[in-house]
Amino acid sequence: FYFFVDVETNPSSTSVRSCAELLRAKRPEVVFAVGGGSAIDTAKAAIAYLYADDEDAVFRNRFTVPDDRPIFVCVPTTAGSGSEATHFAVVYRDGVKYSIKHPHLKPDVAVLDPTLTLSCPRELTLAAGSDAVCQAVESWWSNGADSTSRARAVQALSALVPNLIRVADKPDDIDAREAMMTGAYAAGRAIDITTTTAGHAMAYGLTTSFGLPHGLAVLAVMRALVAFMSERSALVEVSRALTPIFSPYGGEFAVAFHALTVEIFRRIEWSGYPFPRGTDEIETAAARLAAGVNVERLANHPVSLDDRAIHDLYKTILNDQAARAT
């Protein structure tokens, strides 16, 4: 066995390159990725490096992974990213997020053992679970959705929504942890078909700028997006499908989704995040974040978002976060 342990929370090209060098030197028959989404994404990207002409080819998705690449086994230790079920990985280069994708980056085997999540701190459990919930909602409403992806999204949410707060408050509840793990896997299978939408596209900047964990960043964006779309009567079909799942949190989908975010956010310690304060700081930060949004993911969003809408959504998010951090 050979081990690579220098995994970063949000994998950078530097750490992935180091992992790829180990793979190239040892040429293993099997690659095991054990950890959260960052560990699994690091392994995926390192496999891509093995077969690309150079690093730029990886980030342009101009590479081919052969059928006889090493057997790829994933053992997730968090319930959230769904990376164990997808053919893509997220890697950062010079602070810019890239999505690396190829059909043969999808793991051959995913080992889902909920006992491996028992050591997860509460905030990590909530962040990872929030990511999975948002992935499933985004997959359901994605322009790329089909009957299969929507069935997987509903399967995911049916497991995740009743158990996310439960597992945060009762971390030894193995049944709730098992439901979260199977729900996250189903959400991953859903976005493997559709990819994500504006919820994720707008979240990456919150992570790189303020250190907000990815799942919480996505949830903060989705909280604003759901309200924005509801105000424009853009959630009728979504609400019809998802209200029965979210209704324990009160009312139709948009209201219940907001209520769920309240329950999650009140369990998070916000004081350590350097969010902008005051009108001028928030305006400047919102403009900077809006300029860095992944346009490809916006094309997958069911409602058109122009520059003004994106800017105003960021202002709403940042104002909420500033209030929460005080």
Confidence of residue 272 (pLDDT cuts 50, 70, 90): confident
The pLDDT of 312-321, averaged and rounded, is 96
Q: How many domains does the chain have?
A: 2
Within-domain flag for 244: yes
Q: Are residues 88 and 134 in the same domain?
A: no
Question: Which of 68, 85, 110 marks a domain boundary?
Answer: 110
- pLDDT at residue 268 in the model: 96
Which helix (H) or strand (E) segment holds residue 97: the answer is strand 96-101
Q: Which residues of 199-215 are buried (b: 16+ CB within 10 A; e: fewer)?
A: bbbbbbbbbbbbebbbb
Residue 71 belongs to what H/E stretch? Answer: strand 71-76
How far is 236 from 228, CA to CA, in rounded Å? 13
Q: Residue 263 class from Cβ within 10 Å (0-12 exposed, 13-18 middle, 19+ buried)?
A: middle
| CA dist., res. 185 & res. 202, Å (int) | 23
What is the token pair recorded at 281? 């700081």
Q: Which residue has the tokens 């690659």?
A: 31
List the structure tokens of 268.
């998070």
Give a yes or no: residue 89 inside a domain. yes
Residues 151 and 232 in one domain: yes
Residues 308 and 175 in one domain: yes
pLDDT at 321 over 80: yes
Q: CA–CA separation, 227 vs 109, rounded Å?
A: 38
Residues 193-229 pLDDT 10s: 999 999 999 999 999 999 999 999 999 999 999 999 9
Residues 130, 83, single domain; the answer is no
Asked which of 110, 136, 155 is the last residue of a domain, the reply is 110
Q: Is the per-residue pLDDT at 295 higher than 90?
A: no
163 & 93 share domain: no
Please determine, for residue 256, whether its predicted confidence score (pLDDT) is greater than 80. yes
- Does pLDDT of 324 surpass 90? no
Q: Mean pLDDT for the chain?
A: 96
CATH number of the domain that 88 lies in? Answer: 3.40.50.1970
Q: Does residue 97 carry a pLDDT above 90?
A: no
**CATH number, position 253:** 1.20.1090.10
3-state secondary structure at position 31? strand
pLDDT value at position 118? 97
Query: Please, which residues bridge with residue 109 across strands?
Result: 73
Pair 34, 7: CB distance under 8 Å: no
Instruction: Flag the least confident range among 159-168, 188-197, 290-299.
Output: 290-299
Interval 238-249: pLDDT, tens = 999 999 999 999
pLDDT in tens, 139-171: 999 999 999 999 999 999 999 999 999 999 999
Identity at 45, one-letter amino acid code: A
Q: Are residues 295 and 147 in the same domain?
A: yes
Say whether pLDDT at 325 is over 80: no
Element containing residue 91 per DSSP (H, E): strand 88-93
The pLDDT score that the predictor gives to residue 294 is: 75
- pLDDT tens-digit profile of 20-46? 999 999 999 999 999 999 999 999 999
Domain contains 171: yes
Q: What percent of the chain has pLDDT over 90?
A: 94
Contact 85, 189 (CB under 8 A): yes
Please report where in the chains the tokens 């093995």 appear, as a residue.
50
Amino acid letter, 121:
P
237/299 same-domain check: yes
Please give the pLDDT value at position 260.
98
Q: Do 40 and 158 lie in a common domain?
A: no
**82 and 181 housed in the same domain:** no
Beta-carbon count within 10 A of 48 CB: 28
89, 154: one domain = no
In a domain, 1, yes or no: no
Do 31 and 173 lie in a common domain?
no
Q: Residue 41: which domain range?
A: 13-110
